[in-house]
Each structure stands twice: as C-alpha cells, then as structure tokens.
C-alpha cells in the first residue's frame, strides 16, 4: 500500500516537473548530469511516466518542484492580509465594546482586566463563554496557520523582528512604536494560545484577567496589522508549540539541558542529569544553605528589577505567587535550580521560531534578554569544544543605560508610523539596524571576533550619525499624523547580541548532522524540527538577537 501511495505521489511530482520544464520555468545548465537524467525519462501512452526510467536526480528535482508548487497554491488560497483581517475582526467583535470603554476612560488593558476580573457578574459570563472562544481561536489557526507561516517565511527581503521572551508585548508600550522604524515587520504571537496553561489551571479571576488583557492589548495593534502597506508593519502568528505538543516537549527538554550548563556555573559543580540536579537542589531547604552552595551569584536571576543581592532575589522569588503556581514548591533550592528551565525553553523556542521565519529575535524584557544571551553563550561554548574555534560569542550593547544613554525614535504613534511607511520616509534611518544585523548573521565563524567587532562599531557609528539626523529632522518641525518627530525621541538601551557557530542554530545544526550532543535521541525529535534542520543545512546564518528597552527617563 505504501509503495502504491509513493508511486502515485511521484507521478504527480513528475507531471509538475514536466510542465515546469516545458513552460521554460525550470532551467538546468548544460553539462549537468540532471539534463541527461531528464532525457532518459520515458512516458507511457496514458501520459504517466515509466518509473523504471526515473533516477534519483529526477526524483529530487520533482520533489523540489512539488514543494514550490504546493507552497504557492497554499499562499494563493488565502492572503496574509485576509488572515490578519479575519483574525482582528473576530477579536474586535469579542472585545470591541470593552476596548471603546477603555479608550473613553483613558485607562490601560491591565486596568480594565483587573476591574472585570473582580466583577462577579462579568466573571461568571466571561468564564462561561471562555472555552467556546478558545475553540474558535484553535479552529481559525488550524485552517490558516500553514498559509500564514508560508507568507511570512517568504518575505525574504525585509528585516523581520520576532517578538519573544514574554506572553505578549507590554500593554503599556506599543512595540511597533518602539522599534517599527528600525524593522520592517514585527511578528507577534497569538497571546491566547500562549496562555493556555493559565486558562486550564488558573482561578476564575486569572482566566478573566488574561482573556480581557490579551484581547484589549491585541486591539492596540489592529490598525498596524490590517493596514494596506507592504511589507506589513505587524503580523500575528500562532506558536507551533501551541499547535504541536511534541514541539513544546522538545523545547522543554532542550531547556533542561541548558539548565545543566547554567547550574554548573551557578553551583560550581557538574550534574550528569536533570534528576541529579533536582536531587541536589532538594537538599537545600533554606536560603542559607542555597547561599552556601552558590559560586556565581549573577547566575541566580529571577527578575532584573529585584537588584543584584542574592538573598533578596531568592526571598522575592519565594514570595512571588506566579513562580509558586509554576513550580509548585517552596523549597528554595528547587526554585533556584529549576526556575531557569522555563527561561531556557523559551529561548530555544524563540531561536527556532525566528529561524523558521527568517527573522531576528526581539526582546524587550531585560530578564528574558539575559537568559537569551546566556543561551547563546552556552551554545558557543559547546561549539568551541568541538571545533577549536575561540571567542565565538560576542555581546556588545550599542549603548547601555548605565553608560551613555542612547537616543532613538521609539515612541512613534501608529498613525505616524503608517504615514512614514506609505511615504517611505526616513528610509536611511530604517536601514541602519537591518544592514548591521544582516552582516552579523553572515559573519565568518573562523574570524567572527574580529569581523563582529567591526560590525558593531559600524552600527555604533551609524547611530551617532542617526542622532545627527534626528536633530536635523526635529529642527525642520516636520509632522506626521499631527505629531512632530522630536516628540518620538526616547532614551534607553538598544543592544545586539550574536553567536557565530558556523551553523544556523546549534541544536538544529546538530540534528541535521545526526550528532545531537546532550539532547534527545534522534527518534524522539519531532518531524517538524528534523525538516527544519534539513532546510538549514545549506544556510550560513548565525543567531542574532536585539533588545529595545526604555530607560526610566521616559517614564
């Protein structure tokens, strides 16, 4: 039965290849063996190919043609604009009235979510309808996700920022306003899919809070996501981990592996397995016992806003309800040792998601940024051991909050951002980061330290020139959507990190090479990840991430 199915599929592929060749759309240079292979193919009177005359070269070409053909058909079945418009129409239908009340009152999504989560009548009505709402979201993405991903993946001439490190961008800051001038398209996750754990296990108050907060926060991006501009300013996509359970489990396992490296640095001793780490951590039943075992206090990080004191970090973590609901323990040793698993899992998922979408991770939460940077450092260390390359990882802030504060156009009103896009204004400013990041992704790993330093210096110089441009533009009093450019200025951190492994993403590259070190056995790796690893074999891009963060001066 399997052979019949394969043969039928092969016949379809060969017909597609034949049409492409006859139409002059599939070109093969003279002298290549594939030309001779094509000439040997014979066709039966009914038009089908004699499979005995089809060799491996032709089969490979036919497979490639089928992939491109089916991908184009998938994209033609529904446009990216249609997907975004339908999605936001549904969200507005559900939350539009509440959103209007929110804007009329001048409050935030958080404020409205708190109010409704404490209203008994509203809470009862919302929780009763919650499952039906989530089912619609699941069904929508089940029908459109593949097409949406194909459209975004093929936007290969633009700098795509892939948001990560949190459920969704902060309700108090529009991430497109923050970095929309420096990126072409910002890819946001569907927050409802990301919050399934809270909807499944949370209290009624938590369920209502997250539902309302996400719905209202999303509507703040409706205008940008549905605008008639190319490429789109904002796109909402589902996480594959929310659709494919095996991927979520895979990234969690990778997170555990990274935590073994992290814990070794934190405690100054190695652990052979995650269970061994947990056994050791469970014996540390007091903060004093944890402190006595820590050799690198900087690796104990729950929240950058809690300061650098080790005891305060642990005390606040023990008192944090969110951390307790996630880890289900009050043992300080287990909390310290296992908290990083979620952070590292998220970093792995973000790297792979960005690779799939041919984009660059964008993070705005400093704690998530630090774990992302550590993830790249640990990956680079693995490669150094295997390849004899040195100093692969480079972390350089273009400007840091603690030093000379960076100025950039980071509070651009959505309407003004759309005007700029439609007029293609400030093109040279928008090209600053895209050029530098593109250079970083293609840096030669054998000379990465030198070349990346030069690239970072180039970006730094570009931003110094950028500051001059901003001053000139501000002096002209130009207005977009009724606001002048000077009012868009913010101060804060704009940092870039990169790791050159000579391979696209360490985990993916190792899978493709069948040399996955310290990770699940090959048979346990999801097919979707294996396929992505195969696609990445020929790519030379390195992981790169960007941080955009306002300083306190802007609050």
- Lowest mean pLDDT segment, chosen from 49-53, 146-150, 262-266, 286-290: 49-53
The pLDDT tens digits of the residues spanning 317-369 come to 999 877 776 777 889 999 999 999 999 999 999 988 998 898 889 999 999 99
Query: What's the pLDDT score for residue 486?
Result: 82
Q: How many CB atoms lie within 10 A of CB 128?
A: 9
Task: Give me the residues paired with residue 490 across strands.
Answer: 408
Upstream peptide bond of 221 is cis (omega within 30 degrees of 0):
no
Residue 555 scores a pLDDT above 60: no
3-state secondary structure (DSSP) of residue 2: helix
List C-alpha distances in Å: 1 to 5, 197, 199, 509: 6, 41, 43, 34
DSSP 474-490: HHTT-EETTEEGGGGEE
Q: How many CB atoms lie within 10 A of CB 420?
A: 23
Q: What share of the chain is helix, strand, coil (3-state, %, to 5)?
A: 65, 10, 25
The pLDDT tens digits of the residues spanning 240-292 come to 888 888 888 888 888 998 999 999 999 999 999 999 999 999 999 999 999 99
Query: What's the pLDDT score for residue 461?
Result: 77
Burial class (CB in 10 A: 0-12, 13-18, 19+), 333: buried
The pLDDT tens digits of the residues spanning 449-464 come to 667 777 777 777 777 7
List C-alpha distances in Å: 37 to 46, 53, 58, 82: 21, 9, 6, 42
Q: Which residue has the higher pLDDT, 472 or 237?
A: 237
Nearest-angstrom CA–CA distance, 240 and 316: 33
The pLDDT tens digits of the residues spanning 492-512 come to 877 777 776 544 444 444 444
Q: How many CB atoms lie within 10 A of CB 307?
A: 10
Strands (E), 322-458: 360-363, 393-399, 406-409
Nearest residue to 459 (alpha-carbon basis) of 480, 434, 476: 434
Nearest-angstrom CA–CA distance, 536 and 212: 39
DSSP 230-299: SS-SEEEE--HHHH-HHHHHHHHHHHHHHHHHHHHHHHTS--SSHHHHHHHHHT--SHHHHHHH-S-GGG
71 and 192 Cβ atoms separated by less than 8 Å: no
Write out the H or E segment, with its range, that includes residue 496.
strand 489-499
> Model-level pTM?
0.84
């Amino acid at each position: 039965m399997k052979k019949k199915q394969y043969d039928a599929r092969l016949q379809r592929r060969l017909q597609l290849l034949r049409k492409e060749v006859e139409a002059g759309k599939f070109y093969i240079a003279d002298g290549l063996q594939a030309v001779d292979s094509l000439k040997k193919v014979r066709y039966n009177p009914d038009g089908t190919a004699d499979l005995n005359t089809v060799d491996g070269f032709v089969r490979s070409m036919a497979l490639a043609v089928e992939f491109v053909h089916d991908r184009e058909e998938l994209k033609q079945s529904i446009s990216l604009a249609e997907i975004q418009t339908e999605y936001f129409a549904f969200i507005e239908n559900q939350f539009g009235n509440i959103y209007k009340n929110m804007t009329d009152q001048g409050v935030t999504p958080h404020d409205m979510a708190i109010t409704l989560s404490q209203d008994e009548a509203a809470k009862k009505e919302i929780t009763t309808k919650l499952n039906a709402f989530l089912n619609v979201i699941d069904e929508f993405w089940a029908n459109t996700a593949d097409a949406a991903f194909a459209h975004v993946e093929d936007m290969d001439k633009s700098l795509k920022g892939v948001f990560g490190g949190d459920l969704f961008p902060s309700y108090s800051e529009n991430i497109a306003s923050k970095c929309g001038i420096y990126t072409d398209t910002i890819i946001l996750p569907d927050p409802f899919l990301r919050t399934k754990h809270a909807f499944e296990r949370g209290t009624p108050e938590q369920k209502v809070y997250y539902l309302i907060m996400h719905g209202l926060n999303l509507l703040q991006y409706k205008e940008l996501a549905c605008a008639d501009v190319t490429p789109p300013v904002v796109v909402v996509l589902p996480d594959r981990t929310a659709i494919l359970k095996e991927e979520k489990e895979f990234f969690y396992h990778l997170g555990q592996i990274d935590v073994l490296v992290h814990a070794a640095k934190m405690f100054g001793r190695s652990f052979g397995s995650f269970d061994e780490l947990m056994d050791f951590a469970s014996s540390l039943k007091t903060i004093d016992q944890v402190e006595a075992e820590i050799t690198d206090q900087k690796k104990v990080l729950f929240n950058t806003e809690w300061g650098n004191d080790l005891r305060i970090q642990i005390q606040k973590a023990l008192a944090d309800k969110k951390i307790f609901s996630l880890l289900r323990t009050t043992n300080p040793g287990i909390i310290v040792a296992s908290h990083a698993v979620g952070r590292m899992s998220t970093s792995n998922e973000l790297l792979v998601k960005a690779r799939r979408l041919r984009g660059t991770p964008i993070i705005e939460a400093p704690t998530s940024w630090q774990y992302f940077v550590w993830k790249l450092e640990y990956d680079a260390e693995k490669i150094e051991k295997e390849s004899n390359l040195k100093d692969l990882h480079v972390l350089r802030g273009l400007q840091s909050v603690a030093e000379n504060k960076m100025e950039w156009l980071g509070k651009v009103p959505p309407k003004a951002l759309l005007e700029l896009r439609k007029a293609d204004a400030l093109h040279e400013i928008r090209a600053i980061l895209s050029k530098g990041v593109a250079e970083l992704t293609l840096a030669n790993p054998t000379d990465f330290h030198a070349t990346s330093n030069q690239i970072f210096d180039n970006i730094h110089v570009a931003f110094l020139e950028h500051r001059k441009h901003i001053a000139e533009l501000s002096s002209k009093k130009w207005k977009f959507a009724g606001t002048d450019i000077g009012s868009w200025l913010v101060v804060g951190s704009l940092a870039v990190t990169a790791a050159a492994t000579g391979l696209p993403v360490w985990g993916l590259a190792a899978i493709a090479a069948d040399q996955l070190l310290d990770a699940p056995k090959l048979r346990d790796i999801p097919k979707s990840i294996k396929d992505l690893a195969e696609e990445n074999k020929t790519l030379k891009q390195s992981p790169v991430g960007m941080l955009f963060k306002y300083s306190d001066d802007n609050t």
